[in-house]
């Protein structure tokens, strides 16, 4: 049965939010069988994470859910919406503002409405199914991109449709509702869920992730201890050659002052650098305190990375 309903913004805004205060949980810990994309903000409401576990347990052996997007901060949502709006404006300069907004709202929930975007409530998750080889099952062939986004598309192959229905049935069976315009997007408890299932109230409003300092990503190298609400102690890890090396991320603390104490035994590093993307690095000043370095950051982006390894030299200009 084809489930789902249109989700006009006016209908979303009519839903009364009765915030439950339900906590966020880290999906990486709470849902150990679910793969979480490295750059995802890995938090969901606890009920939603439990539902994700149920969906995972319903899949045939050897298949695994992958969550590409869980929680988003409002600034992350704004960046996505603004970026897609700019793309539409460049591709369709003749469109009026109203048409550009409608096109953008179709794929990015607006961040300036009474109803917060689903991903900003901890109630929404974007998922795929990975096969035994770790690759995502085909759910779109022979179409590509947004052409195949409609959940009930009749333009995809029988094999892609079977794989897609495996995902749909697992998620709906666990209690989620689906955004019918995006086969990968499921939610529970947000305003869009309420509109889809005919509820007038929903339990999840806007929520912010806990700020964190961690090294749980590819290349991460640090021992980290929390010392206060926005204070952490870091110690470097050893690389393959036995040398001390630090690479850690300061996450979800945009606009907040974060205090870091870096305890460093042995020969001090040549310096410290920060980056929003692990590609473009800038030196950062620290204060020496015996064998430690003190650093205060006020991140301007949801993610900031700190490294003790000098960035590579830019290539020399020809000529």
Neighbours of 55 (CB within 10 A): 25
**What pLDDT shows up at residue 111?**
93
Domain positions in the chain are 9-202, 212-307
Cβ-Cβ contacts under 8 Å for 279 (sequence gap 6 or more): none
Q: Give CA separation, 128 vs 10, 167, 169, 220, 225, in Å.
A: 30, 7, 12, 26, 34
Q: What is the model's pLDDT at position 314?
A: 64
pLDDT digits (tens), the chain, 319 positions = 455 677 899 999 999 999 999 999 999 999 999 999 999 999 999 999 999 999 999 999 999 999 999 999 999 999 999 999 999 999 999 999 999 999 898 888 999 999 999 999 999 999 999 999 999 999 999 998 888 999 999 999 999 999 999 999 999 999 999 999 999 999 999 999 999 999 999 999 999 999 999 999 999 999 999 999 999 999 999 887 888 999 999 999 999 999 999 999 988 999 999 999 999 999 999 999 999 999 999 999 999 999 999 988 766 665 5
**pLDDT at res. 156:** 97
Beta-strand relationship, 124-130 and 185-187: antiparallel
Whether residue 211 contacts residue 253, with contact meaning beta carbons closer than 8 Å, is answered with yes
84-104 as b/e, with b when 16 or more CB fall inside 10 Å? bbeebeeeeeeeeeeebbebb
Q: What is the pTM of this model?
A: 0.93
pLDDT at 1 (0 to 100): 42
Q: Which CATH number fits domain 9-202: 3.30.365.10, 3.60.20.10, 3.30.420.40, 3.30.1380.10?
A: 3.30.1380.10
212-307: CATH topology = Immunoglobulin-like (2.60.40)
Spatial neighbors of 152 by CB under 8 A, at least 6 apart, are 2, 180
**199-230 pLDDT tens trace:** 999 999 999 999 999 999 999 999 999 999 99
DSSP the chain: --------HHHHHHSEE----PPEEEHHHH-TTSEE-TTSB-EEEHHHHHHHHHHHHTSPTT-EEEEEE-B--HHHHHHHHHHHHHHHHHH-TTS-HHHHHHHHHHHS--SSSSS--GGGTT-EEEEEEE-TTSPBPP-STT--GGGG-STT-SSS-HHHHHHHHHHHHHHHHTT-EE-TT-TTEEESSSHHHHHHHT-SEES-----PPPEEE--STT-BEEEEEEETTEEEEEEEE-TTS-EE-EEEEES-TTS-EEEEEE--SSPPS--EEESSSSS-EE---EEETTEEEEEE--SSSEEEEESSPPPPPPPPP-
CA distance 57 to 65: 10
CA distance 304 to 213: 10
Helices 158-173 and 46-57, axial angle in degrees (round to 10): 130
The number of angstroms, rounded, from the C-alpha of 74 to the middle of its chain's C-alpha atoms is 11
Find where tokens 């793309």 sit: 87
Position 4 scores a pLDDT of 65
pLDDT at position 262 is 98
Do the Cβ atoms of 128 and 136 come closer than 8 Å? yes
Residue appearing with tokens 């102690």: 233
């Amino acid at each position: 049965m084809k489930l789902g309903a249109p989700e006009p913004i006016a209908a979303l805004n009519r839903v009364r939010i009765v915030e439950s205060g339900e906590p966020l949980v880290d999906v990486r810990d709470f849902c150990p069988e679910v793969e979480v994309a490295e750059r995802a903000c890995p938090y969901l409401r606890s009920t939603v994470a439990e539902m994700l576990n149920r969906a995972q347990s319903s899949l045939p052996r050897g298949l695994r859910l992958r969550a590409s997007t869980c929680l988003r901060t409002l600034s992350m949502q704004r960046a996505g919406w603004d970026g897609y709006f700019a793309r539409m404006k460049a591709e369709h300069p003749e469109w009026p503002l109203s048409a550009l907004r409608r096109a953008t709202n179709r794929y990015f929930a607006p961040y300036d409405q009474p109803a917060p975007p689903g991903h900003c409530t901890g109630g929404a998750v974007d998922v795929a199914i990975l096969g035994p080889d770790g690759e995502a099952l085909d759910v779109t062939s022979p179409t590509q991109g947004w052409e195949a986004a409609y959940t009930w598309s009749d333009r995809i192959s029988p094999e892609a449709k079977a794989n897609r229905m495996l995902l749909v049935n697992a998620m709906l069976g666990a209690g989620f509702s689906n955004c019918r315009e995006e086969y990968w997007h499921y939610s529970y408890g947000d305003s869009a869920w309420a509109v889809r299932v005919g509820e007038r109230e929903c339990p999840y409003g806007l929520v912010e992730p806990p700020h964190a300092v961690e090294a749980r990503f590819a290349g991460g190298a640090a021992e980290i201890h929390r010392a206060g609400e926005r204070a952490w102690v870091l110690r470097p890890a050893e690389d393959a050659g036995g040398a001390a090396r630090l690479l850690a991320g300061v996450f979800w603390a945009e606009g907040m002052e974060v205090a870091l104490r870096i305890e460093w035994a042995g020969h001090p590093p040549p310096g410290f650098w920060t980056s929003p993307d692990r590609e473009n690095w800038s030196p950062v000043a620290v204060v020496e305190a015996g064998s430690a370095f003190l650093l205060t950051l006020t991140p301007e982006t949801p993610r900031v990375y700190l490294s003790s390894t000098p960035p590579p030299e830019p290539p020399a200009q020809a000529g």
